[in-house]
């Protein structure tokens, strides 16, 4: 007698039809888990940015209050609120108010903007050329901007533009430097990252020589201070008049670079991978080169050339938040702004009444930090 075949009994709480739907049902929890993980990661990122923004605000208030004439944070906040809200101050507070609002506030805000801009530009350049040592100096952009600014300052050119003449000269110098680097490094319409870096280093040295030559033949006797300003940086010339242009260009540049986060992710993988994903690496690299030149030129015009910020800050941030550029570009500007505010405070207080060049402090901090990063086991460009 033949016994008919019966399917094995289903497990507890599982119907016999569950076997067919098992993989789909199993993938649903994994998908939901992935969404929850991404949401949690985004919340952590937003929380981190909020904390950094609070630290930046506190740093700005403290830095405005500190100097040869120390003003307590509460009194500093009072004067800032009076200036912003149109409030009244007592006659005995006029001098303190002018120190806080007219001298220190534009300087500290400019330091924050330049620190944020240099950090973001460094992130973009390192991804654009796939080189961990890249920054605005390496591509010759900073040196070209310095030449343009020095040329306008010494010759009095572009005087019709008033207070914006030096900024326009610096941007023109940065753009000319970028075009020369691009023309010298491109081959058959393609832009090789390695050739771009090597050409940029050579052009940077050439532009520094041109700038030194212009300063050497300058008719005034302030050539030494001018060399220090344009080669090592300072915020001593910060004014409210120069701040709006810098703020507009840097903030707009940060917004555009953030939207280019996915593009930078693809560029950092290499041209062949980018092309296989449907990206035109050369076209995006050209757009980024113009954007980097604009932001760098405006920053150099008001601060001179400041080294190591655009080199070190991207690596520090990548070690904390990972390789995706959307995350790096959300955090790096805040970290760079905080760093530069405290660097400027140290520059104007450590040897007061004299002032240290910013490049001295950034190099003293940046060199050991960068060496430590490079010696960190397992660290590579773009991640841990």
| Tens of pLDDT, residues 351-362 | 888 888 898 999
Q: Which one, of 19, 39, 20, lies nearest residue 31 by Cα?
A: 39
* Residues with Cβ within 8 Å of residue 206, at least 6 apart in sequence: 140, 143
Please count the other Cβ atoms lying within 10 Å of the Cβ belonging to residue 102.
12
Cβ(119)–Cβ(56) under 8 Å? no
E strand residue ranges, 19-59: none
Residue 226 burial (CB count, 10 A): 18
At residue 9, the pLDDT reads 47
Least confident of 7-21, 116-130, 318-332: 7-21
pLDDT of the residue at 34: 58
| Mean pLDDT across the chain | 82
Q: Residue 191, SS3? A: strand
- Across the strands, what pairs with 380? 383
Q: Beta-carbon neighbour count of residue 131 at 10 Å?
A: 18
Decide if 182 contacts 191 (C-beta within 8 A): yes
Burial 74-92, CB ≥16 within 10 A → b, else e: eebebbbebeeeeeeeeee
Q: Mean pLDDT: which of 30-34, 72-76, 338-342 is highest?
A: 338-342
- Axis-axis angle for helices 281-303, 105-129 (nearest 10): 150
Task: Pick the range with the lowest mean pLDDT from 22-31, 131-140, 349-358.
Answer: 22-31
Most confident of 48-62, 125-139, 165-179, 298-312: 48-62
Instruction: Return the closest-CA partner of residue 292 out of 152, 151, 138.
Output: 138
Residue 254 has pLDDT above 60, yes or no: yes
Percent over 70 (pLDDT), the chain: 84
Taking 3-state DSSP, the helix, strand and coil percentages for the chain, each rounded to the nearest 5, stand at 75, 0, 25
pLDDT of residue 18: 42
Residue 87 has φ and ψ, to the nearest 5°, of: -75, 170
Q: Which candidate, 317, 312, 327, 347, places its Cα nearest to that of 110?
A: 347
Residue located via tokens 């830095």: 63
Per-residue burial over 156-169, b = 16 or more CB atoms within 10 Å of its CB, e = otherwise: eebeeeeebbbbbb
Decide if 107 contacts 235 (C-beta within 8 A). Answer: yes
Question: Lowest mean pLDDT: which of 77-81, 274-278, 345-349, 356-360?
Answer: 274-278
Asked if pLDDT for residue 26 goes beyond 60, the answer is no
User: In this structure, how many other beta carbons lie within 10 angstroms of the beta carbon of residue 133?
Assistant: 14
Angle at 341 between CA 340 and CA 346, to 5 degrees: 90
Evaluate if residue 304 carries a pLDDT over 80.
yes
For residue 370, pLDDT over 50 is answered with yes
- pLDDT of amino acid 344: 95
CA-CA-CA-CA torsion sign (234, 298, 255, 359): negative
pTM of the model: 0.83
Domains delineated in the chain: 106-375 (1.10.3470.10)
The 10 Å Cβ neighbour count of residue 98 is 12
Cross-strand bridge partners of residue 187: 190
Lowest mean pLDDT among 21-25, 86-90, 179-183, 315-319: 21-25
Query: Which sign does the torsion angle of CA 352, 357, 358, 361 carry?
Result: negative
């Amino acid at each position: 007698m033949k016994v008919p075949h019966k399917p094995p009994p289903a497990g507890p709480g599982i119907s016999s039809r569950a076997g067919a739907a098992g993989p789909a049902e199993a993938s649903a929890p994994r998908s939901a888990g992935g969404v929850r993980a991404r949401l949690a990661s985004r919340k952590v990122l937003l929380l981190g940015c909020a904390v950094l923004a609070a630290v930046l605000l506190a740093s700005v208030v403290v830095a405005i209050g500190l100097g040869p004439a120390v003003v307590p944070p509460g009194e500093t906040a009072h004067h800032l609120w009076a200036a912003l809200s149109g409030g009244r101050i007592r006659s005995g507070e006029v001098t303190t108010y002018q120190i806080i609002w007219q001298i220190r506030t534009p300087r500290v805000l400019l330091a924050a903007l330049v620190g944020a801009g240099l950090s973001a530009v460094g992130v973009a350049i390192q991804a654009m050329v796939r080189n961990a040592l890249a920054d605005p100096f390496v591509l010759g952009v900073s040196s070209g901007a310095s030449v343009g600014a020095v040329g306008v300052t010494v010759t009095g050119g572009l005087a019709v533009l008033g207070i914006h003449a030096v900024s326009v000269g610096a941007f023109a110098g940065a753009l000319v430097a970028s075009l020369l680097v691009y023309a010298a490094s491109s081959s058959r319409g393609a832009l090789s990252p390695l050739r771009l870096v090597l050409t940029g280093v050579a052009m940077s040295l050439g532009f520094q020589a041109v700038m030194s030559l212009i300063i050497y033949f300058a008719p005034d006797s302030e050539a030494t201070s001018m060399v220090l300003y344009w080669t090592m940086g300072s915020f001593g010339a910060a004014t409210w008049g120069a701040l709006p242009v810098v703020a507009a260009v840097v903030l707009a540049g940060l917004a555009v670079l953030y939207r280019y986060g996915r593009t930078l992710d693809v560029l950092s993988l290499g041209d062949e991978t980018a092309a296989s994903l449907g990206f035109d690496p050369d076209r995006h690299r050209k757009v980024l080169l113009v954007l980097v030149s604009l932001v760098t030129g405006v920053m150099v015009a008001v601060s001179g050339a400041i080294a190591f910020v655009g080199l070190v800050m991207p690596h520090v941030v990548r070690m904390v938040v990972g390789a995706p550029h959307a995350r790096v570009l959300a955090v790096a500007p805040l970290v760079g702004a905080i760093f530069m505010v405290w660097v400027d405070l140290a520059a104007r207080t450590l040897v007061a009444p004299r002032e240290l060049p910013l490049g001295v402090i950034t190099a003293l901090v940046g060199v050991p930090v960068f060496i430590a990063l490079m010696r960190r086991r397992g660290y590579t460009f773009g991640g841990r």
